[in-house]
Amino acid sequence: MIKNQKFLKIGWLYPDLMSTYGDRGNIICLIKRCNWRGIKTELIKINLNTPIKYLINIDLIFGGGAQDKQQEIVIKDLLNNKAKIIKKLISKSIPALFVCGSPQLMGKYYETVNNKKIKGLNIFNMITKNPSKSKKRCIGNITAEVILNNLDRKYINKSKIIIVGFENHGGRTYLQNGTKPLAKVIKGYGNNGYDKTEGVIYKNAIGTYLHGPFLLKNPEIADYLIAKALFVKYGNLNKLLKLNDSLEYKAKQAVLNK
C-alpha cells in the first residue's frame, strides 16, 4: 500500500439473500468513487456463515432489499449471531446505508401482511406494517429533498440535495418519537404515503426506500458516506477529491423529467 494511502473495508450484508433490485450497483459505486480518489477498498461479503471476527473492523456497512421470506432468514441470523456487533458498529458512528427491505430489519419490528411480527434490531426507532393485500403497494419513481440539517453539514458542500430513485414496497414505515427522516417527499410515497417523510437517519446510518442502484443517481449520498467513514477511521476533515459527475446528474435529470 502507498504510504499514507487511505483504506476502507466495506461490509455487504447478505448479498446472496438481500440483493433483489440491482443493489450491487451501490457497492460498485462506493468502490469506484473510492478508487478514483486513490482510496483502497476491501469488500467483505457477510453471509449466514460469516464469522463475527470479520465484522469487527468494517468501516462502512451496506444492506440491500429482499422479499419477506428472505428477510425472515436474515433477521433470524442477525438476532442470533450478528446483531450485537452490528449495533456496536452503528453506535460507534460507523456509516451505513440500508435500502429497501434492510431498513425494516433495522427498525423495531416489521409486521407482515399476515399480521406476523418480525422483530428487528431496534437500531432505527421505527416500525413497519404491511396493511393488507387489498392495499396497493407503494410503487413508482420518487423524488425527495434531503433534510440537510439532519445530516452532518461539515460534509455537505451544497445548499440543496434532491434525491431520485424507484420504490416498490408494501410495508408502511412510521418513524417514532422524533426520529429523523432522510428527506421530504416531493413526488412519490416515501415511508408511508401520508406524512411525506422518506428514509431515516441514526448517527451515521441511513435507511431509504429508494432501492436498486440508489447511489449511482445520487452521488452526493455516496460521497457523504465515504467522507464520514474516512473521518471515523482517520479523524480528519479533508475534503474529498472532486469527481466529474456529469453522467450521474444526467441519470438523475432523466428521472426528474419523467
Identify the pLDDT of residue 33. 97
From 29, 138, 169, 211, the catalytic residue: 211
Q: CATH says 7-256 is which class?
A: alpha beta
**Residues 62, 96 contacting (CB under 8 angstroms):** yes
d(CA 179, CA 176): 6
Q: Three cell numbers at 236?
A: 480528519
Name 221's Cβ contacts closer than 8 Å, sequence gap at least 6. Answer: 97, 146, 161, 163, 206, 214, 215
Identify the pLDDT of residue 46. 94
CA dihedral sign, ordered 11, 16, 21, 27: positive
Q: Is the pLDDT of residue 181 over 80?
A: yes
Q: Is 138 a catalytic residue?
A: no
From 29, 100, 138, 169, the catalytic residue: 100
Q: Is 169 a catalytic residue?
A: no
**Residues 102, 199 contacting (CB under 8 angstroms):** no
Identify the pLDDT of residue 48. 93
Domain residue ranges in the chain: 7-256
Considering only residues 22 and 148, tell me which one the structure prediction assigns the higher pLDDT.
Answer: 148
Identify the pLDDT of residue 3. 61
Q: What is the mean pLDDT of residues 76-83?
A: 92
**pTM of the predicted structure, to 2 decimals:** 0.94
Q: Is the pLDDT of residue 1 over 60?
A: no
**DSSP, residue by residue, 119-163:** E---SSSEEEE---TTSPPEEEEEEEEE-GGGS-GGG---S--EE
d(CA 222, CA 50): 26
